[in-house]
Amino acid sequence: MNIMNKLESIKNHDLTALENINNYIKIIDKNNSKINAFLDINEEEAIKTAENIDQKIKNGEQTGDLAGLVIAIKSNINVEDFKISAASKTLETYNGSFDATVIQRIKKEDGIIVGMTNMDEFAAGSSTETSYFGQTENPAAPGRIPGGSSGGSAAAIAAKMCDLSLGSDTGGSIRNPASHCGVIGFKPTYGLVSRQGLLDLAMSFDQIGPFANDTSGIALMMDAIAGFDERECTTIEWDVPQFKDINENSQNLLKGIKVGIVEQFMEVSDDHIVNIIEGSIDKMVEMGAELVELSFDHIDLCLPTYYLINYVEFFSATRKYDGRKYGYKIEDVCGEEVLRRIHMGSYISQKEYSGKYYKKALQARSLIRNEMKKLLRDVDVIAGPTVPKLPHKLGKSLDTMDMYAYDVLTVIANLAGIPAASMPSGEVKGIPVGLQIQAKPLEDEKIIHLMKVMESMD
């Protein structure tokens, strides 16, 4: 059932919130041991919340915009009384002691939080294989990785274990698993959604955002979580549009919209993926879009720039995991990738090396940001592949550079602070391929509009 119809049914009591959560709990009980999308479920609490919502509806009281929808949260976002482990042994024993701003807002809108999802340890990865609690299986391509780092949140949507979920995206961690699992994932403009209560990976890149099976779900969640937060200094004071009011029912759906196609984004991607993406682009043209060919000169700089900055910021963020206040000392118990970032970050942060690496990375970041700004000046959106290659088979070990190579097309939006989404474009041998759409800062609604139109043509 489409999410707007479901909301209506719950409001009319055709489907109760309790039935909704119970249906999902049944699916989770049946399939989670194989898929491993969830690390922690709080059935009792979820049922209590559902019963309260049903009661409110019965009494004719006003309910929130997410009333009765079942929501899963990535394990690096604080939710009171849930296990906020960041999929690391370091925080194995930590239970959330407060609600992050996004969680407060979801609860205010009567969303039902069912549990915490699997992820790469501290969100440092692209496959969800580095979780201390085991890998997640891709429900849309069994036997393959779901992508990462928010692999559990994407898999939970793909396996129909919840209505909506939240992830975090530092260099692609929402869009990459959305692409591999055949769902929609949205990374808002940096500063549009509060990061308060999110465990940092790299704070100048991190954004929280939603996953859903349809664009209306993305819009509903964005309406709930976006907006200024006085507790978080990077949030933007801005009149956020009502994303759920954006609709596709106008004539000449995309008439006059300019869609940029970047030559280099296609060149670095597998041919099979490019074929699928070209199909989506043809569809945009049929609906009235005008294509503009663009060239991006700095593609080779993107991964080194992103990872150098990521190492330095992550090293600094992890200094609080010293085993004194909570959990274990991170270096004593963490996995190989997290340790690599801590060591590299510590090295690059030293005074004598920072000029050589970190400062150069910051300069390169400005260059990339300016270049993207320039390209976006002439178009409404840029469209292309989300991930340049298909997800590998579980159990296959990749070297570090091959793992980082998954991120080349997604880190750009984080380096530039712009909004970006991935939506299903098609399949290669049964494996989902995502179409990435990027726009100017604070033009998140253009992406949502375009996705709605594309979806309405299916």
Contacting ligand GLN within 134-163 (CB under 6 A): 149
Q: Which two tokens mark 23? A: 């249906």
CB 235, CB 442: distance < 8 Å: no
Interaction between residue 118 and ligand GLN (CB under 6 A) = no
Query: Are 119 and 126 in contact, with CB atoms under 8 Å apart?
Result: no
CB of residue 163 vs ligand GLN: minimum separation in angstroms? 23
Cβ neighbours for 44, distance < 8 A, ≥ 6 positions apart: none
DSSP H or E segment with residue 45: helix 43-58
Which residues are the active-site residues? 74, 149, 173
Indicate the SS3 state at residue 202.
coil
CA–CA distance from 356 to each of 183, 283, 362, 421, 430 (Å)?
Answer: 41, 46, 11, 34, 45
Among positions 126, 128, 179, 196, the unique one binding ligand GLN when judged by CB under 6 A: 126
Closest residue to ligand GLN in the complex (CB): 173
DSSP state, residue 247: -
163 token code pair: 């209505």
Site mask for ligand GLN (CB under 6 A), range 375-414, x = bound: --------------------------------x-------
- Distance of closest approach, residue 175 Cβ to ligand GLN, in angstroms: 9
Could you identify the residue written with the tokens 């309790």?
18
How many residues bind to ligand GLN according to rule CB under 6 A?
14
Shorter beta-carbon distance to ligand GLN: residue 172 or 335: 172
CB of 201 to ligand GLN, least distance (A): 5
Strands 164-169, 70-74: pairing is parallel
Residue 24 or 132: which CB sits closer to ligand GLN? 132
Q: Where are the alpha helices (DSSP H) in 318-357?
A: 330-333, 336-349, 351-354
Of 172 and 434, nearer to ligand GLN (C-beta) is: 172
Among 169, 200, 229, 444, binds ligand GLN (CB under 6 A): 169
From residue 180 to residue 219, what is the string marking binding to ligand GLN with x (rule CB under 6 A)? ---------------------x------------------
Q: Taking CB under 6 A as the rule, does residue 171 contact ligand GLN?
A: yes
- Which are the contacts of 233, defined by CB distance < 8 A and separation ≥ 6? none
Residue 295: CB atoms within 10 Å: 10
**Paired tokens of 236:** 């933007």
* Contact code string over 301-340 relative to ligand GLN, x by CB under 6 A: ---------x------------------------------
Single out the residue of 139, 147, 172, 191 in contact with ligand GLN (rule: CB under 6 A). Answer: 172
Q: How many CB atoms lie within 10 A of CB 37?
A: 30
Q: Does 173 bind ligand GLN (CB under 6 A)?
A: yes
Q: Which residues bind ligand GLN (CB under 6 A)?
A: 123-126, 149, 168-173, 201, 310, 407
